[in-house]
Chain A
Amino acid sequence: MSLAKPLPAARRRQRGRAAPYLFVLPALLLFAAFKLYPIGWSFLLSLHRTVAGTDTFVGLDNYARLLDDPLLWTALRNTLVVLAVQVPLMLALATGLAVALDSSLLKGRSVFRLGFFLPMVTGLVAYGIVFSVLLNKDYGLVNWLLGRAGADPVPWLTDGMWARISLGLALTWHYTGYNAVILLARLQTVPRELYDAAAVDGAGALAAFRHVTLPGLRPALLLTTVLSTIGTLQLFDEPTVLTGGGPDNATLTLGMYLYRHAFTYFDFGYASAVAYALTLLIGLLGLLQFRLLGDKP
């Protein structure tokens, strides 16, 4: 029969059906090999104890150990303090910055937009080192300037509370501009007519911000909140370079704690249990944030 071979058009359609899979296949294979597989393996590891390179099945022992590990709770508390204090302050600052960058009153907007974004380009190690030198108690520029203004030197990195503040300052420096740019992009999609209508209704700047700007920003605020939360819960580079987790574990984070167990003590099972606890926490907080900020029009 003449139909023994498929018609060219049909064959092309056949090939067309496979095409999308071929495009996404490299990504999926790599993702499966280097992400999904390790995620599964990590769970198995969390049920084992590694001694001298041999894994022994211990069930949920590692998870039980989590519960009465005082240092873990310290790390959790430190991380949650950053989450509760630094993230809201930074996002408020970023919102203000975005509104300012969006204002027609501002001259040279593109220069500002760029300038505030620039810290994001700096690697975490690089800016950690710069901040650690700037904030040196005895020789740092910051304390020298404070001294000139007649203030006593501040133990930025050597006192527990100040070390947390320093960490917050460094994080704010690094991420505020980035969040502001995301918020700014969203802001530019808010119809100008809404502001005009608000003005006609006699709304002042503050009322317009509350009733037009904030609702318009909701999706971008959700995005920045969730991204900042995920980032904060995984916090590792900054405290490692800036404070080493000290003084006296005041800036020890969950990320550092996990890393320490895995690559200093080689306690892979326990490190994996910490990682799963962390994932659970991220999932729960993510859900909560979607509940609070999402859905509603």
Chain B
Amino acid sequence: MTTSTRGRTGRSLLLTSGLALALAAVAVPFYWLAVGATHSSQELFSSPPPLLPGGHLAENLATLQETAHFGRVVLNSLGIATVYTLLAGTVCTLAGYGFATYRFRGRDTLFGLLMLGLVVPAQITLVPLFRMMADLHWLGTYQAVIAPNLALPFGIFLMRQSMAALPKELLDSGRMDGCGELRLFWRVALPPMRPALAALAIFLFLYQWNDFVWPLIVLRDDLTFTIPVALASLQGLDETDYGAILAGTSIAAVPMAVVFLLLQRHFVSGLLAGAVKE
């Protein structure tokens, strides 16, 4: 009895410390990113490389502002991601609700069509979408970044899965009370869906915040760039200032990681509900 308990404790310790070691390895890039943001390029590429924070953060941020209008770029990213989250969140939630709670002709076909978007590679649409944006005279505009991905298949999928958990009795009793369909959606269906909506919002925001290829294609002027596009453009310069780039990269990654940590309970559970339920 004592031996087996001790054996269990030992194995528990072994497993926990083993995973802690692995987690530390996974965390190295994050730590080093934060450290790198506070050093000059010269310090970064010296031997030994810096392992502790330095004193060049302000200077790096100033360089970013100077070479890439980074303050404006951050605002662009925040604005685009916020508007996108609101609009795409609405589109995906409405569709998810429609597919999950109604039976109607063509439902499965239409849903299957939308899910095709998960399988068909995004690249296949890049060229025609680019031309569409040119024809609409939208190149270089924010709406060109936002509009094409509003009906995000994964978001619709996620919402349908979550909404399927709504008790039918709840909706029916709302109808008995004379509630219209839109009011039913707004007043009865949405409130209990708050965790799923939070998960969707985090997902959409992160998706847009980190999106690279499409903004890279449609944005023209560095005043309209989003953070990933600005960072990539800095990296292409002849004299790349890596201290500044890492400071910018920290701004892209660290706040998102913090927000994610704060809201993760919703996110992971919401994502999981969508990913595995059958």
Contacts and interface: CB of A to CB of B under 8 A. Distances in A.
B12 A234 contact: no
Q: Place the interface of chain B in its size category.
A: 35 or more
A103 B268 CA distance: 18
* Interface of B (DSSP majority class): helix
B210 A125 contact: yes
B128 A115 contact: no
A38 B222 CA distance: 27
Contacts of A272: 124, 127-128
Contacts of A21: 98, 104
Contacts of A116: 22-23, 26
A283 B119 contact: yes
B16 A234 contact: no
A126 B210 CA distance: 8
A279 B212 contact: no
Nearest to A35: B117
Interface stretch (A62-70, A80-88, A156-164, A256-264): A256-264
Interface in B95-131: 95, 97-99, 102, 104, 107, 110, 113-114, 117-131
A271 interface: yes
Given A103-B15, A130-B249, A259-B213, A282 B121 contact: yes
Interface in A97-147: 97, 100-101, 103, 105-108, 112-119, 121-127, 129-131, 133-134, 136, 138-141, 144
B193 interface: no
Contact of B125 (A35, A121, A173): A35
Given A21-B104, A141-B49, A223-B275, A278 B121 contact: yes
A241 interface: yes
B276 A185 contact: yes
A125 B231 contact: yes
Given A28-B151, A114-B264, A129-B246, A278 B124 contact: yes
B44 A133 contact: yes
Given A100-B19, A130-B32, A185-B276, A271 B264 contact: no
Contacts of A108: 16
Interface stretch (A12-20, A194-202, A206-214): A12-20
A28 B107 CA distance: 12
A173 B29 contact: yes
Contacts of A119: 26, 29
A121 B206 contact: yes
Contacts of B19: 100-101, 106, 112
A134 B32 contact: yes
Contacts of B16: 105-108
Contacts of A125: 210, 212, 228, 231-232, 249, 252
A32 to B, nearest CB: 9
Across the A-B interface, the 5 shortest Cβ-Cβ residue pairs: A23-B98, A123-B210, A20-B102, A27-B95, A38-B128
Given A118-B257, A134-B29, A185-B276, 15 more contacts: A28-B110, A30-B151, A31-B151, A34-B148, A34-B149, A39-B120, A107-B12, A117-B268, A121-B253, A121-B256, A121-B257, A233-B121, A241-B235, A263-B126, A275-B123
11 contacts: A28-B95, A30-B150, A30-B151, A41-B128, A105-B12, A125-B231, A126-B249, A139-B45, A140-B49, A141-B49, A268-B127
